[in-house]
Amino acid sequence: MRMAETAQQMRQDQGLSQAQLADRARITLEALRNVEAGNTVRPRTIERIARALGLTPMDLYERAAAAANAEN
């Protein structure tokens, strides 16, 4: 599972729409959609999303890595 899929799954698990998470993270909806689409994004954007989800950026990365390892 990539970072994009992990962020999207965590958002959905918390019952948030894309607009709600973008608002919490103080990023544009377009920026969040780019993350969830797997496009290259700025590290600051990932940091804001992680914090809005109640995680550190490292927590989000580790969850994505663990999910990717579980797929293999």
pLDDT at res. 71: 78
Residue type, 32: L
**How many domains does the chain divide into?**
1
* Secondary structure (DSSP) of 36-65: HTT----HHHHHHHHHHTT--HHHHHHHHH
Distance CA 20, CA 70 (A): 29
Instruction: State residue 47 phi and psi, 5-degree precision.
Output: -60, -45
pLDDT one-digit tens code per residue, 13-45: 999 999 999 999 999 999 999 999 999 889 999
CATH number at residue 55: 1.10.260.40
Domain hosting 53: range is 3-71
pTM for the complete prediction?
Answer: 0.88
Q: Give 1's pLDDT tier (boundaries 50, 70, 90).
A: low
| pLDDT above 90: percentage of residues in the chain | 82
Distances (CA, A) of 64 to 26, 58, 69: 22, 10, 9
Per-residue pLDDT averaged across 47-67, rounded? 94
